[in-house]
């Protein structure tokens, strides 16, 4: 029971009034009270410990127990808790503080029921049960046995007598502008800071010791605001805010904007400058100055395009400035910025949406180079991006120079690109961008079942991609640019190349969409894949197919040639030894509207347990050989293959089949004064090519022998010239050169169509040398191994063990001759590494094999159907030569009535050639031929013939390079004392005579009755050529007479 006398209640009421508006600081109150509470508890515990020792106890005459503290006796109760007697004076705290001498003076100590109530005079109160106090109650046995002290902090708050008594009554406006208001007020006692409120929200607080004013900034003009102020100190704030002061800001004054910084300038062509600047505060419009004169006024944008319309001209320095304006006026113009217009406009090519997995789109770019010269160049682009064309366009007139970007070759995969500059445009005196957009509308269809069941051990199954067809004409598009997702990757995942990897039993939806960056396809294809660990005794684990390397259908490098002999293998295993009986296995092929089913040859008993490595034993798996007759119908693009058993197992797939597979090859035997090339074995050539390359048809013809030096470089030049004069645009030319079988035994144009190598007297001439050099023609570089290295990233990958040495993967190989399966280490292939290194092997790794297939697919002359590749029936000029020590040695120019041929030049260069004719001048780019084993800089190009060439010049960048015609000085010397036997050229019996004084060089080509061509003489000199060794009974003779830089053509019917 708590007892309070009236005086205590009155004092407490006076001391603790007005707490409702006091500032709270709960952490401080709780920490301070808890500190005092803990010290009291510790003191009482110390006294109890002393009381437990009878030597410290004093028994009074009243039989009560006492303990002495600081020379003062205090009674103890039975629990050894100290008892306080009622003090002689109610305000006397001495008996309490004698015991609790650590309590600061701002705490009030009051007797209550033999104990004491302790309250802080600044923030405490006596609201029992919800108060702010500490009380020692020795008689409170209902408390915990270890304490008689309670603490309450729920309502602690600073007492109101510590706070400012009121907020300022004198709030007034000192000054107002269009965007500020300055307030002032009188000081309030006990206030050491003031809070300022605008429209009910506090915006600042101001220190009274520094200022009794406040400037509110960033206000809106002509706007009413209401302010209040509140006086505060460390204990809190006055009970109420001040009265509201209403103010209104002034209108915005009319002032001229500040001067802007200098503009930023961009030259965008010969007659176009772009002027940009930043927004200026207070400006409503702008002026632009050029060379001190206003050229544009009242501009609301912060950009201006200055063109020929206002006088901009090419190759000129200009200064620009900008002034900011409003209705009041304009600022002083900014400091000037300089820009120089270009001498020529620039062209960029923006290639959009091209499929990177196809070959390039080819374009012809023509650009005006001078007032009467057009630069023509064929370029190709295989990746999206904005490409700087790099050649200027002449500024011929106010609407600029002419240019076009015409597509002359669409990507061979079927994607269709469009040019927005197909016809001549003009630059309008500014840099221009031509857009090539290859986004192709298409549809998807699937030829395989869209319900797929996998066994958990089928870890090498690849999803057959749907077919993609153009919307425009229904033609198929060949691509690997698909996006594949699995709806439940806990059941099955799918890799970027379509490999399905079972994870657990269940079902997942595989969605396949053509990449929308390249193809506009409305509806994707979906496949339902179920992973089911069925209980059949024999499981179909995997299928292999191949014509060289046997790989899983649709795997990364799997590719076969159409219409070619093919092996198919099926890996089946028994789940345990209790039942190993092999079921009947069938292979069904569907293609070209026909279906064929055949029984596969299988072992009687299945192997127990899954295959953990490829099998090199044909008898260990089921297999079928698709012979060439069957292959002509069924091995074709979009062939569907199903492997099934009589026990219900089934696997359907669409192996990747190339589109093209025909090679036309002309062999050119050579001879010299020492020996003649051995006659080639045509059948051996054909069999070797079909085994090594993804080709099914090889058409080989053997040309009449031609005189060639034993030096391979020189022989390659001769074979290349023969190819240009005789080619049908479909054939590769390979020269067989007699000579030593050591050192370099073959040379080829990388990516070209001509190569040479030693003849059959050099034992590896066919399987190693020829296959290797033809690989260079097909775009392959050297593979690593046996001394060679390669910078191609694949050879440095971890695709399989030994790949960095050009080794074959562990995949089995198909031996077409014996219809057998062999290991990649089988001695019959001479080396277990790629034929493109120097280890004398005769097979490609699957990586290079697939690269060759891509090359074949990209070239139309590998087509299985007869294709007319004639690009023009007009005469052309063959210009070729080499650069030695910075000087150009030009072969005598030859005029030919043969078709435009495929340019062997593959490497980009900074060289250009200018052909100045009576029809005008045209510049062409010069691409150097890349020859394996050689750093020689040779070039060749074929251009439309002109009536007369006045001059040929070559430039490296802007620098003209010296040109000399090979043999010209010698020919001039030889003909000084000789008179020509005819004015031009004529055939006399079997002898051709010509005016060798005017035309030192003669080239003769026989166009036979069947249309085939044979070069009889190339750049002959001396005035006569004997053709008695040739059959000239039918056809036409074509004579090309050359003075070195110009050529004329004559023909004679036989």
Q: What is the DSSP string of 951-991?
A: EEEEEETTEEE-EEETTHHHHHHHTTT---SSSSEEEETTE
| Mean pLDDT to the nearest integer, 905-909 | 57
Q: How far apart are CA 1052 and CA 1054, in angstroms?
A: 6
Extract the tokens encoding 196. 């300022």
Neighbours of 15 (CB within 10 A): 16
pLDDT, tens only, 945-979: 876 888 898 888 878 899 999 888 787 776 655 77
- Residue of 1017, 1002, 1011, 1016 whose CA lies nearest to 1034: 1011
Q: How far apart are CA 473 and CA 329, in angstroms?
A: 64
Of 628-637, 775-784, 873-882, the least confident = 873-882
**pLDDT exceeds cutoff 80 at 664:** yes
Q: How far apart are CA 307 and CA 654, in angstroms?
A: 59
pLDDT score at 503: 95
pLDDT score at 20: 38
- Those residues whose C-beta lies under 8 Å from the C-beta of residue 65, and which sit 6 or more positions away, are 51, 57, 58, 59, 75, 76
**Mean pLDDT for all residues in the chain:** 89
pLDDT score at 535: 80
Positive/negative CA dihedral, 767, 768, 774, 778: positive
Quick one: how far is CA 680 from the chain centroid?
48
pLDDT, tens only, 41-54: 999 999 999 999 99
- 182 vs 935 pLDDT, higher one: 182
- Those residues whose C-beta lies under 8 Å from the C-beta of residue 55, and which sit 6 or more positions away, are none
pLDDT, tens only, 822-862: 999 999 999 999 999 999 999 999 999 999 999 998 887 88
- Residues paired with residue 482 on neighbouring β-strands, in sequence order: 514
DSSP character at residue 931: B
In this prediction, residue 871 has a pLDDT band, given cuts at 50, 70 and 90, of very low
Write out the DSSP string of 296-359: EEEE-SSEEEEEGGGT--SS-EEEEEEEEEETTEEPPPPPPEEEE--SSB-EEEEEES--TTS-
Q: How far apart are CA 329 and CA 322, in angstroms?
A: 14
Query: What domains are defined for the chain?
Result: 26-153 (no CATH), 171-249 (2.60.40.10), 264-341 (2.60.40.10), 345-438 (2.60.40), 441-531 (2.60.40.1080), 538-653 (2.60.40), 662-794+823-862 (3.40.390.10), 876-966 (no CATH), 975-1053 (2.60.40)
CA triplet 350, 352, 356: central angle to 5 degrees?
120
- Residues paired with residue 406 on neighbouring β-strands, in sequence order: 364
Three-class DSSP labels, 110-138 = EEECCEEEEEECCCCECCCCCCEEEEECC
Q: Are 1042 and 1049 in contact, with CB atoms under 8 Å apart? A: no
Share of the chain above pLDDT 90, in %: 63
- Residue of 737, 1049, 776 whose CA lies nearest to 893: 1049
pLDDT score at 907: 54
pLDDT score at 10: 33
Q: Are 853 and 839 in contact, with CB atoms under 8 Å apart? A: no
pLDDT score at 976: 57
Share of the chain above pLDDT 70, in %: 94
Pairing of the two strands 920-925 and 373-381: parallel
Place of tokens 């798996």: 621
Q: How far apart are CA 262 and CA 275, in angstroms?
A: 10
In this prediction, residue 68 has a pLDDT band, given cuts at 50, 70 and 90, of very high
| Mean pLDDT to the nearest integer, 206-223 | 81
- Residue of 16, 357, 332 whose CA lies nearest to 159: 16
Neighbours of 161 (CB within 10 A): 17
- Residue of 459, 457, 820 whose CA lies nearest to 608: 457
pLDDT, tens only, 668-680: 999 998 899 998 8
Extract the tokens encoding 466. 């749907």
pLDDT score at 805: 96
pLDDT score at 263: 95
pLDDT score at 977: 58
Q: How far apart are CA 135 and CA 118, in angstroms?
A: 6
**pLDDT exceeds cutoff 60 at 347:** yes
pLDDT, tens only, 1000-1038: 999 999 999 888 899 999 999 989 999 988 888 889 999
- Those residues whose C-beta lies under 8 Å from the C-beta of residue 291, and which sit 6 or more positions away, are 318, 319
| Mean pLDDT to the nearest integer, 600-607 | 97
**pLDDT exceeds cutoff 70 at 905:** no
| Mean pLDDT to the nearest integer, 974-989 | 78
pLDDT, tens only, 83-95: 998 888 888 999 9
DSSP character at residue 752: S
Of 7-21, 455-469, 701-715, the least confident = 7-21
| Mean pLDDT to the nearest integer, 186-196 | 89
pLDDT, tens only, 788-829: 888 899 999 999 999 999 999 999 999 999 999 999 999 999
Q: Are 955 and 391 in contact, with CB atoms under 8 Å apart? A: no
Place of tokens 């191994």: 785
pLDDT score at 603: 98
- Those residues whose C-beta lies under 8 Å from the C-beta of residue 1038, and which sit 6 or more positions away, are 896, 897, 1004, 1005, 1006, 1007, 1049, 1050, 1051
- 10 vs 525 pLDDT, higher one: 525
Neighbours of 691 (CB within 10 A): 21
In this prediction, residue 18 has a pLDDT band, given cuts at 50, 70 and 90, of very low
Neighbours of 194 (CB within 10 A): 28
**pLDDT exceeds cutoff 50 at 687:** yes
CA triplet 550, 554, 556: central angle to 5 degrees?
80
pLDDT score at 38: 94
Write out the DSSP string of 642-683: EEEETTS-EEEE---B-S--EEEEEEEEEE-SS-BPPPP-HH
pLDDT, tens only, 387-440: 988 788 887 666 888 999 999 989 988 999 999 999 999 998 889 999 999 999
- Residue of 566, 492, 554 whose CA lies nearest to 529: 492
**pLDDT exceeds cutoff 50 at 753:** yes
Which of helix, strand or coil describes residue 8?
A: helix
Whole-model pTM? 0.67
Q: How far apart are CA 706 and CA 710, in angstroms?
A: 12
pLDDT, tens only, 487-533: 999 999 999 989 999 999 999 999 999 999 999 999 999 999 999 98
Which of helix, strand or coil describes residue 831?
A: coil
Q: Are 1020 and 1001 in contact, with CB atoms under 8 Å apart? A: yes
**pLDDT exceeds cutoff 50 at 22:** no
In this prediction, residue 8 has a pLDDT band, given cuts at 50, 70 and 90, of very low
Place of tokens 């008695």: 1028
pLDDT, tens only, 298-325: 999 999 999 888 889 889 999 999 999 9
Positive/negative CA dihedral, 671, 672, 676, 681: negative
């Amino acid at each position: 029971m708590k007892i309070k006398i009236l005086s205590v209640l009155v004092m407490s009421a006076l001391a603790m009034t007005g707490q409702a508006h006091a500032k709270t600081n709960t952490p401080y109150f709780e920490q301070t009270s808890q500190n005092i509470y803990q010290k009291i508890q510790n003191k009482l515990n110390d006294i109890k410990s002393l009381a437990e020792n009878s030597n410290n106890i004093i028994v009074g005459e009243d039989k009560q127990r006492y303990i002495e503290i600081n020379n003062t006796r205090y009674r103890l109760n039975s629990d050894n808790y100290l008892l306080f007697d009622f003090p002689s004076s109610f305000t006397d705290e001495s008996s309490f503080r004698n015991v609790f001498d650590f309590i600061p003076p701002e705490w009030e100590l009051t007797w209550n029921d033999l104990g004491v109530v302790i309250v802080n005079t600044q923030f405490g109160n006596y609201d029992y049960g919800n108060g702010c106090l500490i009380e020692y109650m020795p008689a409170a046995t209902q408390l915990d046995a270890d304490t008689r002290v309670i603490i309450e902090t729920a309502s602690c708050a600073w007492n109101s007598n510590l706070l400012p008594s009121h907020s300022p009554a004198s709030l007034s406006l000192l000054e107002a502008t269009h965007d500020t208001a300055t307030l002032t007020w009188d000081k309030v006692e006990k206030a050491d800071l003031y809070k300022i409120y605008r429209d009910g929200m506090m915006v600042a607080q101001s220190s009274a010791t520094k200022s009794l004013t406040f400037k509110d900034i960033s206000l809106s003009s002509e706007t009413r605001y209401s302010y209040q102020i509140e006086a505060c100190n460390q204990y809190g704030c006055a009970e109420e805010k001040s009265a509201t002061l209403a103010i209104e800001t002034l209108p915005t004054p009319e002032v001229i904007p500040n001067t802007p910084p200098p503009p930023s300038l961009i030259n965008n062509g010969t007659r176009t400058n772009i002027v940009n600047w930043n927004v200026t505060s207070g400006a409503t419009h702008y002026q632009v100055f050029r060379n001190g004169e206003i050229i544009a006024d009242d501009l609301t944008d912060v950009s201006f395009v200055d063109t020929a319309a206002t006088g901009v001209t090419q190759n000129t320095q200009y200064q620009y400035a900008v002034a900011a304006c409003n209705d009041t006026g304009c600022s002083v113009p900014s400091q000037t910025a300089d820009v120089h217009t270009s001498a020529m406009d620039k062209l960029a090519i923006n290639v959009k949406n091209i499929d990177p997995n196809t070959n390039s789109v080819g374009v012809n770019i023509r650009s005006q180079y001078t007032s009467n010269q057009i630069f023509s160049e064929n370029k190709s682009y295989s990746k999206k991006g904005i490409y700087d064309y790099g050649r200027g366009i002449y500024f011929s007139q106010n609407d600029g120079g002419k240019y076009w970007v015409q597509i002359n070759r669409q990507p061979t995969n079927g994607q269709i690109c469009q040019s927005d500059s197909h016809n001549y445009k003009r630059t309008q005196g500014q840099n221009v961008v031509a857009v090539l957009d290859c986004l192709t509308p298409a549809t998807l269809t699937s030829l395989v079942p869209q319900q797929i069941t996998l066994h958990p051990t089928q870890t090498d199954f690849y999803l057959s991609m749907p077919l993609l067809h153009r919307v425009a004409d229904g033609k198929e598009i060949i691509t690997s640019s698909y996006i594949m997702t699995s709806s439940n990757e806990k059941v099955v995942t799918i890799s970027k190349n379509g490999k399905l990897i079972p994870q657990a039993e269940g079902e997942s939806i595989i969605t396949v969409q053509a990449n929308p960056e390249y193809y506009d396809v409305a509806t994707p294809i979906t496949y339902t894949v179920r992973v089911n660990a069925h209980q059949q005794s024999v499981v179909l684990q995997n299928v292999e197919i191949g014509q060289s390397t046997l790989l899983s259908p649709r795997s990364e490098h799997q590719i076969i040639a159409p219409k070619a002999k093919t092996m198919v293998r099926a890996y089946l295993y028994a789940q345990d030894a209790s039942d190993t009986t092999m079921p009947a296995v069938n292979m069904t092929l569907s293609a070209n509207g026909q279906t064929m089913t055949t029984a596969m040859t299988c072992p009687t008993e299945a192997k127990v347990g899954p295959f953990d490595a490829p099998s090199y034993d044909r008898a260990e798996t089921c297999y079928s050989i698709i012979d060439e007759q069957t292959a002509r119908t069924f091995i074709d693009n979009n062939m569907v293959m199903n492997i099934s058993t009589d026990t219900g197992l089934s696997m359907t797939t669409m192996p990747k089949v190339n589109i093209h597979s025909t090679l036309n090859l002309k062999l050119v035997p050579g001879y010299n004064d020492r020996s003649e090339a051995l006659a080639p074995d045509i059948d051996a050539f054909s069999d070797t090519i079909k085994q090594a390359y993804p080709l099914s048809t090889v058409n080989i013809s053997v040309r009449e022998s031609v005189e060639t030096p034993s030096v391979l470089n020189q022989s390659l030049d001769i074979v290349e010239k023969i190819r240009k004069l005789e080619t049908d645009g479909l054939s590769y030319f390979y020269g067989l050169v007699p000579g030593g079988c050591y050192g370099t035994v073959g040379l080829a144009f990388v990516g070209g169509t001509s190569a040479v190598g030693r003849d059959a007297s050099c034992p590896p001439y066919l399987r190693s040398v020829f296959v290797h050099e033809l690989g260079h023609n097909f775009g392959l570089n050297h593979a690593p191994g046996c001394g060679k290295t390669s910078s191609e990233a694949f050879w440095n990958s971890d695709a399989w063990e030994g790949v960095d040495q050009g080794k074959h993967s562990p995949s089995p190989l198909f031996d077409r001759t014996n219809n057998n399966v062999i290991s990649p280490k089988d001695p019959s292939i001479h080396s277990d590494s790629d034929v493109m290194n120097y280890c004398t092997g005769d097979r490609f790794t699957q990586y290079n094999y697939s690269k060759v297939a891509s090359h074949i697919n990209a070239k139309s002359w590998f087509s299985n159907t007869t294709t007319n590749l004639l690009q023009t029936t007009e005469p052309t000029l063959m210009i070729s030569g080499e650069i030695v020590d910075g000087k150009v040695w030009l072969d005598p120019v030859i005029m030919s009535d043969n078709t435009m041929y495929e340019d062997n030049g593959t490497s980009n260069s900074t060289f250009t050639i200018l052909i100045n004719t009576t029809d005008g001048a045209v510049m062409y780019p010069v691409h150097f031929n890349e020859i394996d084993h050689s750093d020689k800089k040779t070039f060749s190009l074929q251009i439309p013939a002109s009536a007369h060439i006045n001059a040929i010049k070559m430039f490296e960048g802007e620098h003209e390079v010296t040109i000399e015609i090979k043999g010209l000085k010698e020919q001039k010397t030889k003909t000084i004392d000789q008179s020509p036997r005819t004015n031009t050229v004529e055939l006399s019996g079997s002898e051709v005579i010509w005016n060798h004084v005017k035309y030192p060089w003669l080239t003769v080509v026989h166009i036979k009755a069947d249309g085939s061509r044979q070069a009889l003489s190339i750049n002959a000199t001396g005035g006569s050529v004997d053709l008695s060794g040739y059959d000239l009974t039918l056809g036409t003779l074509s004579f090309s007479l050359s003075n070195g830089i110009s050529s004329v053509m004559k023909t004679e019917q036989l």
